[in-house]
Protein backbone atom coordinates (compact mmCIF):
# COMPACT_ATOMS: atom_id res chain seq x y z
CA UNK A 1 0.00 0.00 0.00
CA UNK A 2 2.90 2.37 0.62
CA UNK A 3 3.71 2.52 -3.10
CA UNK A 4 0.27 3.99 -3.83
CA UNK A 5 1.10 6.98 -1.71
CA UNK A 6 4.27 7.62 -3.69
CA UNK A 7 2.20 9.05 -6.54
CA UNK A 8 1.08 12.63 -6.37
CA UNK A 9 -2.40 13.84 -7.22
CA UNK A 10 -1.02 15.12 -10.52
CA UNK A 11 0.45 11.68 -11.27
CA UNK A 12 -2.98 10.09 -10.73
CA UNK A 13 -4.62 12.73 -12.91
CA UNK A 14 -2.12 12.00 -15.68
CA UNK A 15 -2.72 8.24 -15.39
CA UNK A 16 -6.48 8.83 -15.60
CA UNK A 17 -6.04 11.11 -18.61
CA UNK A 18 -3.90 8.46 -20.35
CA UNK A 19 -6.51 5.76 -19.69
CA UNK A 20 -9.31 8.03 -20.92
CA UNK A 21 -7.35 8.75 -24.10
CA UNK A 22 -6.77 5.03 -24.73
CA UNK A 23 -10.45 4.27 -24.17
CA UNK A 24 -11.44 6.99 -26.63
CA UNK A 25 -9.02 5.65 -29.24
CA UNK A 26 -10.43 2.15 -28.75
CA UNK A 27 -14.01 3.41 -29.12
CA UNK A 28 -13.04 5.23 -32.33
CA UNK A 29 -11.35 2.13 -33.73
CA UNK A 30 -14.43 0.03 -33.02
CA UNK A 31 -16.76 2.60 -34.58
CA UNK A 32 -14.80 2.66 -37.84
CA UNK A 33 -14.21 -1.08 -38.03
CA UNK A 34 -17.49 -2.94 -38.49
CA UNK A 35 -15.79 -6.27 -37.87
CA UNK A 36 -14.98 -5.18 -34.31
CA UNK A 37 -18.50 -3.97 -33.52
CA UNK A 38 -20.71 -6.68 -32.05
CA UNK A 39 -24.39 -6.48 -31.17
CA UNK A 40 -26.75 -8.76 -29.29
CA UNK A 41 -29.72 -10.58 -30.74
CA UNK A 42 -32.05 -8.07 -29.04
CA UNK A 43 -30.31 -5.19 -30.83
CA UNK A 44 -30.48 -7.13 -34.12
CA UNK A 45 -34.23 -7.63 -33.67
CA UNK A 46 -34.65 -3.92 -33.00
CA UNK A 47 -32.60 -2.83 -36.02
CA UNK A 48 -34.59 -4.94 -38.49
CA UNK A 49 -37.91 -4.82 -36.59
CA UNK A 50 -38.25 -8.60 -36.75
CA UNK A 51 -39.33 -11.33 -34.33
CA UNK A 52 -37.05 -13.78 -32.56
CA UNK A 53 -38.45 -16.53 -34.79
CA UNK A 54 -37.51 -14.60 -37.94
CA UNK A 55 -33.96 -14.06 -36.67
CA UNK A 56 -33.73 -17.77 -35.88
CA UNK A 57 -34.97 -18.61 -39.38
CA UNK A 58 -32.41 -16.26 -40.95
CA UNK A 59 -29.64 -17.95 -38.96
CA UNK A 60 -30.86 -21.44 -39.94
CA UNK A 61 -31.00 -20.42 -43.60
CA UNK A 62 -27.50 -18.87 -43.40
CA UNK A 63 -28.88 -15.47 -44.36
CA UNK A 64 -26.85 -13.79 -41.63
CA UNK A 65 -23.69 -14.84 -39.82
CA UNK A 66 -23.70 -15.06 -36.05
CA UNK A 67 -21.92 -16.39 -32.97
CA UNK A 68 -23.52 -18.29 -30.13
CA UNK A 69 -21.78 -17.99 -26.78
CA UNK A 70 -23.33 -19.55 -23.71
CA UNK A 71 -26.83 -19.47 -25.18
CA UNK A 72 -26.55 -15.83 -26.28
CA UNK A 73 -26.56 -14.85 -29.96
CA UNK A 74 -24.25 -12.11 -31.29
CA UNK A 75 -23.76 -10.54 -34.70
CA UNK A 76 -20.91 -8.49 -36.11
CA UNK A 77 -21.88 -5.18 -37.68
CA UNK A 78 -20.04 -6.35 -40.80
CA UNK A 79 -22.48 -9.29 -41.13
CA UNK A 80 -25.41 -6.91 -40.73
CA UNK A 81 -24.00 -4.50 -43.31
CA UNK A 82 -23.46 -7.41 -45.71
CA UNK A 83 -27.06 -8.58 -45.17
CA UNK A 84 -28.33 -5.09 -45.90
CA UNK A 85 -26.25 -4.73 -49.08
CA UNK A 86 -27.20 -8.18 -50.37
CA UNK A 87 -30.88 -7.22 -50.22
CA UNK A 88 -30.57 -3.61 -51.32
CA UNK A 89 -32.78 -2.58 -54.25
CA UNK A 90 -31.87 0.47 -56.30
CA UNK A 91 -34.57 3.15 -56.52
CA UNK A 92 -36.54 3.14 -59.76
CA UNK A 93 -35.82 6.82 -60.43
CA UNK A 94 -32.16 6.00 -61.00
CA UNK A 95 -33.02 3.24 -63.46
CA UNK A 96 -35.51 5.53 -65.23
CA UNK A 97 -32.86 8.24 -65.47
CA UNK A 98 -30.40 5.78 -67.02
CA UNK A 99 -33.01 4.62 -69.55
CA UNK A 100 -33.86 8.22 -70.47
CA UNK A 101 -30.16 9.09 -70.88
CA UNK A 102 -29.73 6.16 -73.30
CA UNK A 103 -32.78 7.26 -75.31
CA UNK A 104 -31.43 10.81 -75.63
CA UNK A 105 -28.11 9.58 -77.06
Q: Is residue 42 part of a domain?
A: yes
| Cβ-contact 45, 58 below 8 angstroms | no
Q: Is residue 81 part of a domain?
A: yes
Q: Is residue 93 part of a domain?
A: no
Q: Is residue 96 part of a domain?
A: no
Per-residue confidence (pLDDT) for residue 71, from 0 to 100: 93
What does the pLDDT look like over 28-65, one tens digit per residue? 766 666 667 889 999 999 999 999 999 999 999 999 99
Q: Quick one: which H or E segment has residue 39? A: strand 38-40
Q: How many domains is the chain built from? A: 1
Per-residue confidence (pLDDT) for residue 44, from 0 to 100: 94
Per-residue confidence (pLDDT) for residue 5, from 0 to 100: 65
Q: Is residue 60 part of a domain?
A: yes
Quote the CA–CA distance of 41 and 80 in Å, as a whole number: 11
Does the predicted TM-score (pTM) go above 0.85? no
Q: Is residue 100 part of a domain?
A: no
Q: Quick one: which H or E segment has residue 74? A: strand 72-76
Amino acid sequence: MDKLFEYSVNDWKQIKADIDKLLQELKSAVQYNAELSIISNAQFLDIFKISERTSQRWREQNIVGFSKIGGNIYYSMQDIINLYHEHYVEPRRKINRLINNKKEK
